[in-house]
Chain A
Amino acid sequence: MKPPPFEYHAPRDLDEALRILAGVRGKVLAGGQSLIPMLNMRLAAPAHLVDITRVASLDALERTREGVRVGAAVTHARAEREGGHPLLTRALRLVAHPVIRNRGTVVGSLVHADPAAELPAVLAVLGGSVRLARWDGARGQVRDVPAHEFFVGPMESAAGPDELAVSAFFPALDERTGHAFHEVARRHGDYALAGVCAVVTLGEDGGVAAARVACVGVGPAPVVADLTGAGAGDWALAAAALSRRVEPEDDIHATAAYRRHLVAVLAERALKEAAGLAERASKEAAGGA
């Protein structure tokens, strides 16, 4: 269980990293918390690894009114500590164990695109995006890919082999909005059997203006659903309808039927909690005005 040999590159700036990726058949090494297990188990054998943790410009976390932009070298632990986005912070506490989060990166979790991972669901439910860069021979070219196009399938993202994900953007929550993330895992810190992330926004009149969920562990990529009109305010009904729409599979950890059941239970919990928090936020907004 040792990694196969590879050539190691440790670029100091982004252009150098992009040039190396354009010139060799290799992979990006960020926190290594998913890639190194895969190398140790010989599930991957890239000839080159490009370690991006020494590229200072990627170690940036920017907070604006519009949202939070997380650079590719920012670890889970740092994003959790510095906060800036309540839903992201909450989801980070569900990702693995604190010790893994000391090295794992937010952007690495997105590119890795494990169907049971929490952070892709957060990006998807918020309608965020990932910024990709590649070397076109003369300079770095950048494109922003929205979440719904980024998660292509299990362990597959839209990032090409010569592309580097430089950052991810998590849009801020609207006013009068609540959020929640509930999941069930065999052990604390394990990948979830199923999980549901919910965001609910109330209108000025107190009615539901928007309700969105993203489910993990029950499809090849996060399953996003707009439940704004669903269940006519009855979250249990909306959650049950959602659970009939997902298409989970059997595996050694759980049956498809059990996962479907979990989606109904977790979606109801998440929607109720998010709606309750949205109500509280509305009252605070009204009180403060």
Chain B
Amino acid sequence: MEHEITLVVNGAARRVRVPARRLLSDCLRHDLGLTGTHVGCEHGVCGCCTVLLDGEPVRSCLTFAVSVDGREITTVEGLAGPGGMSPVQRAFGECHALQCGFCTPGFLCTVTALLRDNPSPTEEEVVEGISGNLCRCTGYQNIVKAVHRAAELIAEEGR
């Protein structure tokens, strides 16, 4: 049986028909064409598919689209503002915190929520905060640097 649901994705209401078994990750990518959300493991381990659900980071591969009918979702495509890339996105570029970029959408969503809840995290809090996201390229050093840099940018820009 198919279900008619409405998701508010990056600020816009989107209606879609999905079978109950449609993962939110696949709904975003296949039904809505938002391929910025990446899918690695589909069992919650890699963190690539992390999106914000009503502002909180969740695994879109461990969420059924029907379960979040009516709720707000922010994907990597929705992180930039009208003035361009968000501070977290700019910090990742500046600090060379990505190489192939496969893991990056998940890190960006996770870190955006992390810094909103904790604007000046310690080294330990940063490492714990990103411990659920795997990156096979960078060795994490520059990702950790980028999180601190993003915190600075957010503080400087007062947003």
Question: Is the Cβ of A188 less than 8 Å from the Cβ of B131?
Answer: yes
Interface of A is mostly: loop
Question: Is the Cβ of B58 less than 8 Å from the Cβ of A102?
Answer: yes
Question: Is the Cβ of B64 less than 8 Å from the Cβ of A32?
Answer: yes
13 pairs from A and B in contact (CB 8 Å cutoff): A2-B42, A5-B19, A29-B67, A32-B64, A33-B44, A33-B62, A36-B62, A37-B42, A53-B67, A97-B47, A98-B128, A98-B129, A188-B131
Can you name the residue of chain A whose Cβ is closest to the Cβ of B41? A1
**Size bracket, chain B contacts:** 20 to 34
Interface residues of A in 1-56 (CB under 8 A from B): 1-8, 10, 29, 32-33, 36-37, 39-41, 49, 51, 53
Q: Chain B nearest CB: distance from A192 CB in Å?
A: 15
Q: A37-B62, A53-B67, A102-B56 are in contact. Are A187 and B23 (CB under 8 A)?
A: no
Q: Chain B nearest CB: distance from A160 CB in Å?
A: 24
Q: A7-B1, A36-B62 are in contact. Are A1 and B129 (CB under 8 A)?
A: no
Cα distance, A167 to B132, chains bound together (Å): 28
A96 interface hit (Cβ, 8 Å):
yes
Question: Is the Cβ of A6 less than 8 Å from the Cβ of B20?
Answer: yes
Cα distance, A189 to B23, chains bound together (Å): 23
Q: Chain A nearest CB: distance from B9 CB in Å?
A: 18
Interface residues of B in 132-156 (CB under 8 A from A): 132
Interface of B is mostly: mixed
Q: Which of A2, A36, A49, A98 contacts B63 (CB 8 A)?
A: A36
- Which residues on A sit within 8 Å (CB–CB) of B23? 2-3, 36, 40
Question: Is the Cβ of B43 less than 8 Å from the Cβ of A4?
Answer: no
Question: Is the Cβ of A100 less than 8 Å from the Cβ of B63?
Answer: no
Q: Chain A nearest CB: distance from B83 CB in Å?
A: 28
Question: Is the Cβ of A51 less than 8 Å from the Cβ of B67?
Answer: yes
Q: Chain A nearest CB: distance from B13 CB in Å?
A: 20
Can you name the residue of chain B whose Cβ is closest to the Cβ of A51? B67
Q: A5-B20, A41-B43 are in contact. Are A99 and B64 (CB under 8 A)?
A: no
Can you name the residue of chain B whose Cβ is closest to the Cβ of A93? B128
Q: A99-B50, A100-B44, A100-B59 are in contact. Are A32 and B132 (CB under 8 A)?
A: no
Cα distance, A33 to B63, chains bound together (Å): 8
- Which residues on B sit within 8 Å (CB–CB) of A10? 66-67
**Size bracket, chain A contacts:** 20 to 34
Question: Is the Cβ of A96 less than 8 Å from the Cβ of B132?
Answer: yes
Cα distance, A32 to B60, chains bound together (Å): 11
- Which residues on B sit within 8 Å (CB–CB) of A264? none
Q: Chain B nearest CB: distance from A98 CB in Å?
A: 7
Interface residues of B in 45-74 (CB under 8 A from A): 47, 50, 53, 56-59, 61-64, 66-67
Cα distance, A100 to B53, chains bound together (Å): 12
- Which residues on A sit within 8 Å (CB–CB) of B1? 7-8
Question: Is the Cβ of A189 less than 8 Å from the Cβ of B131?
Answer: yes
Q: Chain A nearest CB: distance from B73 CB in Å?
A: 13
- Which residues on B sit within 8 Å (CB–CB) of A37? 42-44, 62
B21 interface hit (Cβ, 8 Å):
yes
A112 interface hit (Cβ, 8 Å):
no
Question: Is the Cβ of A77 less than 8 Å from the Cβ of B56?
Answer: yes
A103 interface hit (Cβ, 8 Å):
yes
Interface mask (B9-21 → A, CB under 8 Å = 1, otherwise 0): 0000000000111
Which of B1, B43, B50 has the most chain A CB atoms closer than 10 A to its own CB? B43
Can you name the residue of chain A whose Cβ is closest to the Cβ of B43? A37
- Which residues on A sit within 8 Å (CB–CB) of B3? 8
Q: A36-B64, A53-B67, A189-B131 are in contact. Are A103 and B20 (CB under 8 A)?
A: no
The 9 A-B pairs of least Cβ separation, nearest first, read A97-B132, A8-B20, A37-B43, A3-B21, A36-B62, A1-B42, A188-B131, A99-B57, A102-B56
Q: Chain B nearest CB: distance from A117 CB in Å?
A: 15
Can you name the residue of chain A whose Cβ is closest to the Cβ of B68? A53
- Which residues on A sit within 8 Å (CB–CB) of B47? 97, 99
- Which residues on A sit within 8 Å (CB–CB) of B64? 8, 29, 32, 36, 51
Cα distance, A80 to B58, chains bound together (Å): 16
